[in-house]
Chain A
Amino acid sequence: MLAKRAWLWLLAGVLTSACGNDNARGGGGETDGGSDGSDGDSGSDEDGSSGDGDSFEFDPAPAVLPRLTALQYRNSLEALLGEGLPVVAVEPDTNPYLFFSIGATSTTLSEFGVQMYEEAAESVSAAVFEDETRRVDLVGCTPSAPGDACVEAFIASFGRRAFRRPLSGVEQARWLGAATDLADGDPWLGVQMAVAGMLQSPYFLYRVELGEPDPDDASRLRYTSFDMASRMSFLLWNTTPDDALLDAAEAGELLDDEGLVAHAERLVEDPRARGAAQDFFAQYFDLGRLDGVTRDPSVYPLFSDTLPEAMRNEAMLLVDDFVFRRDADIRGLYSTRTTFVNDGLAALYGLEAPGATSVAFVPVELPEDGPRAGMLTFSAFLTMNAHETENSPTLRGKYVRERVLCQPVPPPPDDVDTSIPADTGEGKTLRERLEAHRENPECAACHAFIDPPGFLFENFDPVGSYRTLDNGYPIDASGDLDGEALADARGLADLLGQDSRVGQCIVTQLFRHSTGRLEEASELAALVDLDAQFEARGYRFRELLTMLVAHPSFRTVGVAQ
């Protein structure tokens, strides 16, 4: 398997080498690593065994320090303090390489961001402690004096939940001290201040998962049992661990396969896992780009301001259907003939959808002889990869390469004319104008890689409506993928639905999302192992989640240089 994956990446490198480096494996060394692997056959087992993961060698990267994403922060506040908290503003996430988690490990919080945390902590703690029922529920006892035994016990239990591990003696003294010194004679006020303070502590705002010596391998660290509780909870639930998981961590149950798989399965069964999976897929699909979409209603009467949200919902319902309702081969997202529409999408797709309203989505079967099959023929992809007034086969093709197949596309060379030749009234389709553009050899190398899969979608306009004419001329929607001729988007759907590269790409993206960083070249073998296990389990995403949690690449950490 190592050889196979390396070969695929080498192929991608060959295809793009005319226009730049292939850095799909993060960092410059992956091509070398790949060829070493294929030459050396470094002990990978050919049958793609799924199970113990130490039949391959890899070196984990050093620890990173993710700050909670905005959603993780809000979810954690609710987990700690209960629902119905005041709405608080926090610094928006950034998503380099698609993922908020990567922004969370690389971006530095601004001063205003720290101020917003301070104000949020003040606001939510005041809301809880002004409500007598609520504060007693939270604290579990009634303090009679600042810093008394009730307060002391609460600091310990709340501290464990907020910091995702027991407080050290120094920390217990520090926060008990705050609850005492800032009480101003009112023990409740003291507890409120301690809560507000712990919610501003970097131990709450950042996921401090630094590992400990690994008894099996002195060259690396392993994540502690509490680190693992945090890692799996934020991956599978997008929120802080619950008490059961912290208890398991405290009992040391999250250091072996059995305990990790058992708890991962429990978490995946919980409704919170559905939201977390949707959050991952929304980022992997890059659906944030739907937020700014505008279209002129006089040109696109089927478009409305609420349609982008419906497009997003359609994608999320599909994910939920594939992952949680049917536990099906996730690659089917790209070939499915079942989808979910509200009234606006039904009109856009020209489908009957009884029961659909603006807010009610219903499952529909796409007609066998219709033009659509798979996510890439649904309006989210078609719209966000088009311009306001015309299609962009380049953006659509780039999405297929980069997002679906994880093949990087390098930037255009500096100082090259990147404008598309204007419509000179000679009666050309956009495709014909783009093909003329490719006569420039500087552009041709990359655009021959990007555009042919993008041309497959020319039958769909910038909001995803089906069309047969462009600029009044018949559309040629044929294209190809890596030399395989395809008649239209349905041909691509059939191909992608069974393409192992689609599965590998999802492994790569989930690895990035879950670790908050790009994979290192030294981790390639671990990804290859995950590929094999994912394939062996029928590309079911739920299986991938539990398999990743127990995988050595998710449980170990390199020693910082």
Chain B
Amino acid sequence: MKFIGGKRLNRRTLLRGAAAGGLVSLALPPLEAMFGSRGALAKADGLPPMFGLFYWANGMPWHAGHGALQGEGAHPDLWTPSQVGPDYTPTELLAPLAPYSPSVATGLEPHTDIPPDPPGQGDGHMRGFMVATTGDRIRPRGFDHPSHTLTALRPTMDQYVAKHDAYYGSAIPRFRSLQLGVSTARFHDYGHWNAISYNGPDSLNLPVSDPAQLYNLLFDVPDDASTLERRANLLDAVIEDAADLRAKLGAADKVRLDAHLAHLDEIQRRLELAAAPCDAPLFPAQSEDLHVKTGIMADMLAVALSCDLTRVFSFMLTSPATTHVFSNLGVPDGMHKTCHDGEWERVRAITQYQMEAFAILLDRLSTTLDPTGASLLDNGLVFGTSEYGEGWQHGTKELPALLVGGACGAVNRGVHVREPDGNFSKVHVTTLRALGIDTDSYGFNGGETTEHLTGILA
């Protein structure tokens, strides 16, 4: 059995031996000694750039680039810069992000095929969302109407990176990744729609969207080492029970239980770690205002990243097809319906507001320094995307992609690359290569590509 017996006992024994030998009893401030400097040296140290996935709902206001029907209203394209290459002039909707020099790829769209059965797999929300975050289709089975079960075939980019051997290697921080959310509105109650981070089919990582819960997760760690060790040891018996059960299960439930076992392993590892050397911020306030709440969550995230509690995060501002009511902008209906109703001006105002929220997150990442003295954003990469090009007709053309941050010098900042009808997975290839993950090809089921965005990858 994989999870018990020699191998894991050896690992745990080794860890305890290391602890006894003083390896983890470094006095503060240990971080520079532990991590070395990042920037140019980061790769030499084997420490990967921070990676974040930022998600906002319902794309952007539609224009002729999305299709003939969308062009009938003669609405301007407020997203796509008129120049390509470096030093483009930010457009109205990119202006809030301009201080952080985002690189932007436009014209891209899903290239995955759309099986006819069961019907509905071309739905923009689901197809666009899955292509943007996984490079693959939605899972056809379980898609069934009316359940509308949205589920991924494979890990979303945050999980793909966090679990890739080439990313963390053996230097796994306290959390492989964190999932944060801001708005709690969701398209409907069933079939998921309240998460953007997946491990695979029907395996979601729900975002933590309660600031107090995030605070407790990150900073309220008991510091009684003997209690933590006892709790870690207790999991050995739990794991043995799980291993017994595993042998009795059918294939599908084995997969579910294996995930549970892997998580137990991870929790045990976390319990064995000493409390993180991190100066906890003040206990967070609560707010229903999306901008204020974005700041609250981003503040804690920035501390967690600067303390190396994790290097990967997802940040769901709003969920796919969100029903969030932007009453602060004078919009009386949920956003999904507002899109359906063709309320262009309102969708414009909401999209601008969402970009301003993205800027709040980027502000925290650019003003927080990592242990080397560089900003989190200089040494990291945030991939910002949405679920389709526009929400009125759920058109997936011009699916937005932003790559913000320097990734330790691997990404050229402030570049506009335009490839009309291009394969969206070029963004994934670019992202993965920038993070030091060798990637021959990415994209699936018709969405495969070997190419990155040449202007953006340094």
Binding site for B on A (CB under 8 A): 20-21, 23, 62-65, 89, 91-92, 94-98, 103, 106-115, 118, 122, 170-171, 174-175, 177-178, 181-182, 184, 193, 196-197, 200-203, 206, 208, 210, 286, 288-289, 291-292, 294, 296, 299, 387-389, 398, 402, 408-415, 417-420, 422, 560
Contacts and interface: CB of A to CB of B under 8 A. Distances in A.
B263 A114 contact: yes
Given A23-B144, A109-B260, A210-B248, A410 B120 contact: yes
Which of B231, B233, B323, B340 has the largest number of chain A CB atoms within 10 A? B231
Q: Pick the most buried of B192, B256, B325: most chain A CB atoms within 10 A of its CB.
A: B256
A97 B202 CA distance: 13
Contact of A97 (B190, B235, B249, B255): B190
B457 to A, nearest CB: 31
Contact of A417 (B190, B199, B248, B393): B393
A108 B217 CA distance: 21
Contact of A110 (B204, B249, B323, B342): B204
A419 B392 CA distance: 8
Given A289-B188, A417-B69, A182 B233 contact: yes
Contact of A197 (B145, B186, B237, B255): B237
Contacts of B185: 292
Contacts of A177: 237
B191 interface: yes
B284 interface: no
A182 B234 contact: yes
B205 A197 contact: no
A144 to B, nearest CB: 21
B231 A118 contact: yes
B192 A94 contact: yes
B49 to A, nearest CB: 23
14 contacts: A89-B213, A108-B200, A108-B256, A113-B263, A114-B266, A114-B267, A118-B271, A182-B230, A193-B230, A193-B234, A210-B248, A402-B146, A420-B340, A560-B250
B118 interface: yes
A418 B249 CA distance: 44
A65 B256 contact: yes
A203 B206 CA distance: 24
Interface string B155-174: 00000000000000000000
B451 interface: no
A122 B240 contact: no
Interface of B is mostly: mixed
A112 B206 contact: yes
- Would you list the 5 A-B pairs with minimal beta carbon distance, nearest first? A414-B122, A411-B120, A108-B203, A114-B263, A288-B189
A289 B186 CA distance: 10
A398 B146 contact: yes
A91 B226 contact: no
Contacts of B123: 411, 414
Contacts of B275: none
A46 B93 CA distance: 68
A171 B241 contact: yes
A385 to B, nearest CB: 12
A81 to B, nearest CB: 17
A417 B392 CA distance: 9
B334 interface: yes
A201 B340 contact: no
Contact of A114 (B191, B226, B264): B264
A387 B341 CA distance: 11
Nearest to B251: A560
A415 B200 CA distance: 27
Contacts of A296: 327, 332
Central interface residue in A175, A294, A296, by most chain B CB within 10 Å: A294
B257 A291 contact: no
Nearest to A110: B205
Interface in B77-112: none
Contacts of A64: 253
Nearest to A66: B253
Nearest to B261: A202
Nearest to A65: B253
B267 A98 contact: no
Given A64-B253, A65-B253, A411 B263 contact: no
A94 B191 contact: yes
A419 B334 contact: no
Given A63-B250, A110-B205, A419-B340, A197 B189 contact: no
B42 interface: no
Contact of A414 (B120, B200, B202, B213): B120
A411 B340 CA distance: 15
Contacts of A408: 145-146
Nearest to B117: A21
A38 to B, nearest CB: 25
Nearest to B145: A411
B422 interface: no
Contacts of A92: 206
A202 B244 CA distance: 10
B199 A108 contact: yes
Interface in B228-282: 230-231, 233-235, 237-238, 240-242, 244-245, 248-251, 253, 255-257, 259-260, 263-264, 266-267, 270-271
Contacts of A196: 231, 234
A112 B181 CA distance: 14
Contact of A415 (B122, B190, B191, B226): B122
A374 B270 CA distance: 54
Interface string B345-362: 000000000000000000
Nearest to B256: A108
Contacts of B176: 111
Contacts of B244: 170-171
